[in-house]
Structure formats: C-alpha cells, structure tokens
C-alpha cells in the first residue's frame, strides 16, 4: 500500500530470516555492478520528452543550468537514472521512495514545534519502489560532488562508503527499536552538532553554526523583504524575469483574457479543503495580496510554479506559499503506478510518510492554469527556516560527514514505509553492501559524465538551445 503504514507479516525473527534469504536472490556484492543496457535510451531524448509537458520557453534555461557541471546535470537527470536503475539488482523489499534522493535534496527546515530538523526535502518523484534505488541515487551524487571538489579516488571511496555505512548501521539500529520509537526518530541541528561536530574541522563547524543561524532567519518575513516592493502603497512581488514574473505582467503577455489573481484565489480555496481542520484555521487568517510565476530548481525548471503573497494581521505578518505543479513520477514507468490519481496528493502523502516532521501548510489541488488546461499542484510554504548544505565549500572531510548525515536521514525515511527488520537483516553487519555501492557510485558517475558530454554536444550541434 502506498503512502500508508504497511503491514509486515511474520515475527521479527521471520522477517529477519526473509531479509537474509534475499541475499541469494540479489547478493549484496551485485549492487556494485552496472553497465549501460543494450539499446539504452539517449539521455538527451529522455530530457526532451520531459520538456514536452513543461513551459517550452523555459527549456533552454533548464539545459543551461544542467550544463554548469556533471553534478548539475545529474541533479536534473532523475528521469535518466530512473530508467537505468530499473534493471539493477533488488532484494525484493520496497518502501516509499523519494525518487530523487541526491545530496542536494536533503536540507534543514522548521518543524511545527519550531525546531530546525534535517531530512529529505524534495518529493516530486516519490513513489513506492526498491529501497536500493534511493540509496544508489544518493551515493552516485556524492561521487560526482567529490569529483567536482577535486577529491582523489581514495577520498571519494571513503565519502561514498560513509553514506552507505551510515544507512546500513542506522537501519540496523531502527530494526531493534519498537515501532513507535523507530517512527519518532529524527535529526535536528542539535543532534547533528553533538553527533558529528567532533568529526568536522573548526572551519566546518563555524560554517554549520552560521548556516543554522541563517536558516532560522529564512522565513516568510525574509522572503517578504527580499521578494517584494511597495507599489502605490501596497506590497507587490518584485519582477525579475524570467525567474519571477508577477501575475500582472504574465496576464498581459501570455494570458490576456485570464484574471490570474482570481484564478489563484479559486485554487487556494480548493487547496484549503486538503488541509487538516486546525491548519485551515491558520490559513483562514490570511488574505491573498499578489501572485507571481517563479522558476524553481534544476530538474524542475519548466514545471509550472507560482508564489502567492498573503498577509495576516498586518504587513509584518506575511505568508508566502508556493504552488508547484506535480507531474507523474519519473519512477512510474518502472514501478507500480501511484494509487493516487491526483499527483499533488501523491507528492504530499509520500512526503508525510517519509519526513519526521512536515510543513503545516502542505496540501494539494487540481486546477486549471492560465491556458485553461487542468493540472495537479501541491502547495507548501516557500521558505520556512530553509537550509541547504554548501557542497561547493566542503573538503573531503566535510563531504564524508555530510554523507553520513544524509545516509542516516534516508534510513529514517525508508524505515517508516518499509520493512526495516528485513532490510536491516539483508544489509547485515559486514561491509559487503558498502563496498558494492561505492563501486556502483564510481561507475555510474562515469556514465553521468558521458551523459553530460552528450547534452553539451547536443547544444553545440544546435540540436537544442541552452541559456
């Protein structure tokens, strides 16, 4: 069952035995094997297929962002890797997947209790599937990031194995816990500082402390100061085309017959119905002031995303909501279809299952866009103590620490939707899985560099345009 508590038949001993037995079906060492399949699809073709359902004028911007580096390409190429992962060994145990668990899709955000927690923070591709797919997406991202930082072969192996080892050891710890104790496990800023502070250098610790302070200041009030200006005595979202285009400008240029603000008001009214009763009470205290189209992410560029400025008590009480299009998961061609026909609901329910704490404004809606076509969206706060790791500032030691933190967070997420006892027994005490995933990470990073070169060649040949 998707995005719900799963029933795992058998006693803990029987579930552990099933995990160990799965090693015959998929030896742990087999996870180190990967080679392009015969007839592997052209990665540029896959990206162009994705672009067909998106805002066409933004495709060159997406390609331009992906061409920044092989790691940037990898971030935008979840669809490419999904096709590749479909043919890799799997133990047979499924969980709720992030679907795009690269290292930049982890970060800090505020819990409802106003604590800075660290977890997965992107669920556009979430779907049930083999837990190995998320792990492999994560470790290959560390291999590419370490290459970008100039890490030597041995350093990269240690970094990747740190992620795999922490995932394995955390899953084994969770397997020994009761169901509720396991469910409540989470990482916050204090536990990260206590658990990994001694491993980081003094410079890395100071950067971490600055990041925590910066995250706690990054909220709707900060967004209000950065993204708005006063026009005729009223706050309005500042125009920064093509990244941010206020509704008034968009309506004039692209949808002259549509009242975009009225459209968004209707969307927000229907979105309200997806909220819990207590969260509707919070939402009802705000009024819509302005709307803008906003370009988001790397892989998400071209999907339709809006930001809505709302005010509560007064102008010192802003709320920025992001209304983001949800398309079908890139995993769906290779896994069971989502049981949620509404793709925004798929994203939200997957997020609620995988995260230790989630945004109280998280909801979904199906609505018509400015072109009159009906699409699915999910809604969340734009900024709520948002923090992300500065990978470009990390050395090998810092990357290894971050790899462990991400591995732990991913194990927490997978344990909520999968059989943590069977997965832990499959992984075992030894380092076989760690070694195998390190080998996979390097081999797949090589492939990603070749795919990046293919995109570069397509641009150079004039096949596609990049900004």
Cβ within 8 Å of residue 94, ≥6 positions away: 128, 129, 130, 131, 418
Residue 191: CA count within 13 A, CB half-sphere: 13
Q: What is the pLDDT of residues 69-95, one digit of tens each?
A: 999 999 999 999 999 999 999 999 999
Rounded Cα gap, residues 130 and 111, in angstroms: 28
Rounded Cα gap, residues 456 and 68, in angstroms: 10
Whether the CB-CB separation of 113 and 138 falls below 8 Å is answered with no
Q: What is the pLDDT of residues 42-76, one digit of tens each?
A: 999 999 999 999 988 899 999 999 999 999 999 99
Rounded Cα gap, residues 411 and 407, in angstroms: 6
Confidence category of residue 1, pLDDT binned at 50, 70, 90: very low
In this structure, what DSSP letter does residue 240 have? B
Q: From its phi and psi, is residue 359 left (phi > 0), alpha (psi between -120 and 50) or beta? A: beta
Q: What is the pLDDT, as a whole number, of residue 134?
A: 98
Q: What is the pLDDT, as a whole number, of residue 109?
A: 86
Q: What is the pLDDT, as a whole number, of residue 265?
A: 86
Percent of the chain residues past pLDDT 90, beyond the cut: 71
Q: In degrees, to the nearest 5, what angle opens at C-alpha 293 toward C-alphas 260 and 242? A: 130
Q: What is the pLDDT of residues 296-318, one digit of tens each?
A: 877 788 888 999 999 999 888 99
Confidence category of residue 392, pLDDT binned at 50, 70, 90: confident
Does residue 136 carry a pLDDT above 80? Answer: yes
Task: Tell me the Cα Rg of the chain.
Answer: 22
Q: What is the pLDDT of residues 178-218, one digit of tens each?
A: 999 999 999 988 888 877 766 666 776 777 777 777 777 77
Q: What is the pLDDT, as a whole number, of residue 262?
A: 82
Instruction: Quote the mean pLDDT of the chain.
Output: 91
Q: What is the pLDDT, as a whole number, of residue 200?
A: 61
Bridge-based pairing state of the strands 116-120 and 94-97: unpaired
Lowest mean pLDDT among 36-40, 141-145, 153-157, 188-192: 188-192
Q: What is the pLDDT, as a whole number, of residue 199?
A: 62
Cis geometry, peptide bond prior to residue 293 (ω within 30 degrees of 0): no
Rounded Cα gap, residues 12 and 421, in angstroms: 7
Lowest mean pLDDT among 154-163, 360-369, 386-395: 386-395
Rounded Cα gap, residues 50 and 62, in angstroms: 11
């Amino acid at each position: 069952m998707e995005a719900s508590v799963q029933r795992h038949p058998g006693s803990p001993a029987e579930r552990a035995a099933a995990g160990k037995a799965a090693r015959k079906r998929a030896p742990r060492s087999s996870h180190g094997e990967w080679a392009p399949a015969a007839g592997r699809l052209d990665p540029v073709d896959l990206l162009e297929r994705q672009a067909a359902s998106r805002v066409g004028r933004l495709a060159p911007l997406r390609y331009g962002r992906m061409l920044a580096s092989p790691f940037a390409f990898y971030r935008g190429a979840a669809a490419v890797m999904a096709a590749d992962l479909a043919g890799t060994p799997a133990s047979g145990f499924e969980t709720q997947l992030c679907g795009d668990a690269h290292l930049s899709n982890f970060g800090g955000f505020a819990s409802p209790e106003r604590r800075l927690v660290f977890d997965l923070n992107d669920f556009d591709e979430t779907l049930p599937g083999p837990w190995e797919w998320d792990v492999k997406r994560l470790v290959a991202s560390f291999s590419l990031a370490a290459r970008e930082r100039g890490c030597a072969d041995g350093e990269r192996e240690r970094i990747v194995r740190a992620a795999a080892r922490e995932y394995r050891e955390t899953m084994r710890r969770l397997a020994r816990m009761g169901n509720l104790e396991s469910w409540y496990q989470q990482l916050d800023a204090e536990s990260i500082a206590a658990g990994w502070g001694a491993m980081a250098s003094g410079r890395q610790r100071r950067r971490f402390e600055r990041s925590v302070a910066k995250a706690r200041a990054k909220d709707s009030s900060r967004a209000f100061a950065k993204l708005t200006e006063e026009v005729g005595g009223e706050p309005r979202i500042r125009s920064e085309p093509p990244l941010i285009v206020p509704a008034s400008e968009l309506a004039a240029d692209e949808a002259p017959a549509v009242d975009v603000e009225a459209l968004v008001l209707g969307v927000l009214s229907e979105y309200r119905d997806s909220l819990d009763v207590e969260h509707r009470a919070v939402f009802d205290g705000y009024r819509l002031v302005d709307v803008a189209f906003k370009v988001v992410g790397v892989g998400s560029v071209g999907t339709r995303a809006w930001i809505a400025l709302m005010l509560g008590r007064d102008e010192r009480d802003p709320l920025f909501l992001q209304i983001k299009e949800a398309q079908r998961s890139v995993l769906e061609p290779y896994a069971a279809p989502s049981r949620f026909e509404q793709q925004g609901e798929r994203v939200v329910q997957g997020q609620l299952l995988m995260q230790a704490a989630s945004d109280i404004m998280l909801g979904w809606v199906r609505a018509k866009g400015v072109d009159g076509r009906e699409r699915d969206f999910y809604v969340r706060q734009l900024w709520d103590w948002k923090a992300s790791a500065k990978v470009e500032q990390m050395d090998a030691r810092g990357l290894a620490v971050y790899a462990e933190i991400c591995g732990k967070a991913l194990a927490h997420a997978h344990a909520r939707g999968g059989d943590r006892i069977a997965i832990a027994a499959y992984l075992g005490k030894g380092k076989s899985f760690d070694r195998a995933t390190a080998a996979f990470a390097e081999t797949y990073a090589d492939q990603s560099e070749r795919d990046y070169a293919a995109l570069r060649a397509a641009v150079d040949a004039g096949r596609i345009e990049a900004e």
